[in-house]
Chain A
């Protein structure tokens, strides 16, 4: 009896899926290997921007530079350095760019002040608009006496009309499936 050998065409998708899983799990496996690193290493690393990555912190990245930076953080912690001293170490080499949270000084203050200022301006503008709308609602509207008389007459006619007429008309339309 001949044994069927899976063709390369059939194995293709499986190989692709296996490669995708391996590629996705590689950084996590690498980070797991670093499990021996102090938890504080990742706390500090998450405050630093990875210099060779796009939108990743040193704590998240699997790039060689980020790994080396984590080792440096570990070594400095073991040497008794504080979080502030370690951040200053990297800031001295890379400048403020390396900090994911901009320092609260100089031009960086704008990042902190502008959103608050914008929110305050928004509240003030909203308050002014609400007061303006309220004032507009309280002011009597000037209307032509002839127009007012026509509206009153129309309302009186509506009040005199028996309400069951409309209800019956609706019922008739409803039964006909209109």
Chain B
């Protein structure tokens, strides 16, 4: 009887561990950014021609500090980035007086034409830049795309979201940044 109980306990524990492994999803996605609470690293990246009239040829993050920012990293090959792009455009149109949205095309070397097509497809009116060598991606500790950073007016990172963003979660973060 005792042997049956021990065997059941061991097999049950292993089965529970196996099921936990299957159900835990993408643990890498749940890793919080090491930048939380710290100043968002500065970068200077070339803007797409859609935005040069308003922002110049290069966007410098340091020059844009002073108001909350949403920095969204995307790539032309990334499916979920296509899903979230309309949400980002709507948020930009709703909060553009208070919050700056910046799109950073990254992990997408020599893909300016594809980047241009992406921007045109969704009519993105917030500034988009190209991180051709993915240096900014490494500086921000990205695990993949899309990832989105919410930066307070003082330049510190409030939150990082891995995966596609939705309007409701962005509103929640923006309201917290504006408070």
* Chain A interface residues toward B at CB < 8 A: 51-52, 64-65, 68-69, 72, 90-95, 97-98
A68 touches B133 (CB 8 A): yes
Partner-A contacts on B (CB < 8 A):
28, 31-32, 34-35, 107, 109, 133-135, 137-144
Interface of chain B, helix or strand or loop or mixed? loop
Separation of A91 and B134 alpha carbons in the complex (Å): 17
Q: Which chain B residue has the least Cβ–Cβ distance from A50?
A: B143
Among residues of A, the one whose C-beta sits closest to the C-beta of B31 is A97
The answer to whether A52 and B143 touch across the interface, beta carbons within 8 angstroms, is yes
Q: Please tell me if the beta carbons of A69 and B138 are within 8 angstroms of each other in the complex.
A: yes
- Distance from A49 Cβ to chain B, minimum over Cβ atoms (Å): 10
Contact B139 A52 (CB under 8 A): no
A47 to chain B, nearest CB (A): 16
In the A-B complex, list the 5 residue pairs whose CB atoms are closest, starting with the nearest.
Answer: A93-B141, A95-B34, A94-B141, A51-B143, A68-B134
CB neighbours (8 Å) of A52 from chain B are: 107, 142-144
| CB-based contact B34/A93 at 8 Å | yes
Pairwise interchain contact B141-A65, C-beta atoms closer than 8 A = no
- The CA of A95 and the CA of B28, in the complex, are separated in Å by 12
Contacts of A92 in B (CB 8 A): 34
Cα–Cα, bound, A92→B138 (Å): 11
Chain B residues closer than 8 Å to A95, beta-carbon distance? 31-32, 34, 141
Closest to B142 in A: A51
Residues of B near A98 (CB, < 8 A) are 141
